[in-house]
Amino acid sequence: MIKQKYYLIKTYGCQMNVHESEKLAGVLNLFGYIETSEQLSADIVVFNTCCIRDGAEQKLYAHIGALKSLKKNNPNLIICVCGCASQAEGRAEIIKKKFPFVDIIIGTHNLHVFQEYLESFIENKKYICDVWENEREINENYNALRTSGANAWVNISYGCNNFCSYCIVPFVRGKERSRKMEDIINEVKNLIKEGYKYITLLGQNVNSYGNDIDDKNITFAKLLEKCAKLDGNFKLKFMTSHPKDLTEDVIKTIATNDKICKVIHLPVQSGSNKILKLMNRKYTKEHYLSLIKNIRNHIPDCYISTDIIVGFPCENEEDFMETYNLIKEVQYDGVFAFMYSKRSGTVADKMEEQVSNEIKRKRVNELLKLSKSITKQKNSELIGKVINALVDSYDKEKKGYNTFTDSGKSIFVPSDKNIISIHSFHKVEVKRMINNKLIGEFLN
């Protein structure tokens, strides 16, 4: 009898990586591997890496290092490191030196060749380290093994042209390349047919979708509209939006199509015009606030979330307070606050007046406290409201259903009976809040 082989993929970072890991899983499946969550039973471990902040990178190195003894005990174990960290300048060399037991190192630009590398390694057992300097044409030839439940991720573009001064993404993901609209729509159609209830369109900056295509009719608003007009019981999401490119067309398209979730993740990064300029974000606080006003005018119940970086070089107390006050003014539904992390090769890396870790920590904690209190207030305002939610699972111990709103907010619906089908949409009336957790009742 042939022994079953197992794979373990460790994914770091953003949704883009989560989806790329699904594509890697698709390849591993072709080789006969199935998934395990146990490191000890794995025949291959793949690290799909992130380098957006130093913390993510250091955590990754600690995790790779921890496999040394496992490899010693099981020399047949295959270890592969791929993705953003191995693509970043000089990192492949570091990984090679620090972790000589790693078998395959590849970057982001040659991830689609994973199948060939693995085939060659299995055949020859010869160490592979290949990181391409530049991006190539989009590869449409993949079979993702999807892992995100009712949600399916769909890339609409790859790479980024923005070069925000703190960000390493354009260096490791290359120039922005949009997929053809018909390829995206065909993929979305198939996913709806397969029964996915949420389709999330992915790009570093979804709003600049099509800018690299000659046909001026190819825009993000058009793409959204076309996807939203497809038949089926599904909802559309997208991320991430850049405020400099979010057009009124897009806002109106979201407002007028029931199938598009009223959810916008709109990273502001800072509330200080001085810092926004140094970050090369290409908008002002005033422009950003006018966008928020416009969104709320067209979509009054829109769920708006943001990313913030605190402690960017030259950020003083006054700049920080502008960010603090902007969060208070916008009353975000979600705030993801990060401490600025120096990334080599970026413009900000060479800026003077770096902020101390102690101040960064203090500022990030202040923002988290503020956003927690806003969330609590907003959650309490939901009591009595009726919300469309997706049933995710039945919890036998707690006796009730875990449901999620379009924005990912969880509402627990107590019930003795497990009779409602999983991954179906239902109207839920929010009844109360216990320890900041929403409790509801099905209306249908």
Binding site for ligand 5AD (CB under 6 A): 52-53, 166-167, 267, 269, 307, 309, 338, 340-341, 343
Which of 330, 389 has the CB closer to ligand 5AD?
330
Which of 167, 438 has the CB closer to ligand SF4?
167
Site map 238..277 versus ligand SF4, x via CB under 6 A: ----x-----------------------------------
Residue 262: name its binding partner from ligand SF4, ligand 5AD, none (Cβ under 5 to 8 Å by kind): none
Q: What is the C-alpha to C-alpha distance for residues 276 and 29, in angstroms, rounded to an integer?
A: 45
Q: Residue 69 is inside which H or E element, if any?
A: helix 68-73
Q: Does 169 bind ligand SF4 (CB under 6 A)?
A: yes
Which member of 163, 353, 373, 376 binds ligand SF4 (CB under 6 A)? 163
Residue 204: name its binding partner from ligand SF4, ligand 5AD, none (Cβ under 5 to 8 Å by kind): ligand SF4
Q: Which stretch binds ligand SF4 (CB under 6 A): 109-117, 158-166, 285-293, 310-318?
A: 158-166
Which member of 9, 144, 164, 192 binds ligand SF4 (CB under 6 A)? 164
Which of 191, 201 has the CB closer to ligand SF4?
201
Which member of 8, 64, 156, 167 binds ligand SF4 (CB under 6 A)? 167
Q: Which stretch binds ligand SF4 (CB under 6 A): 167-175, 291-299, 409-417, 425-433?
A: 167-175
Residue type at 151? Answer: N
Provide the 3-class DSSP secondary structure of residue 358: helix
Q: Does 170 bind ligand SF4 (CB under 6 A)?
A: yes
Q: Give the shortest CB-338-to-ligand SF4 separation in angstroms.
A: 11
Q: Give the shortest CB-175-to-ligand SF4 separation in angstroms.
A: 11
For ligand SF4, the binding residues in 198-237 under the rule CB under 6 A are: 204-205
Q: What is the C-alpha to C-alpha distance for residues 65 and 98, in angstroms, rounded to an integer?
A: 8
Which member of 78, 81, 111, 160 binds ligand SF4 (CB under 6 A)? 160
Q: Residue 296 is inside which H or E element, if any?
A: helix 285-298
Q: Report the interface residues with ligand SF4, using CB under 6 A.
A: 160, 162-164, 167, 169-170, 204-205, 242
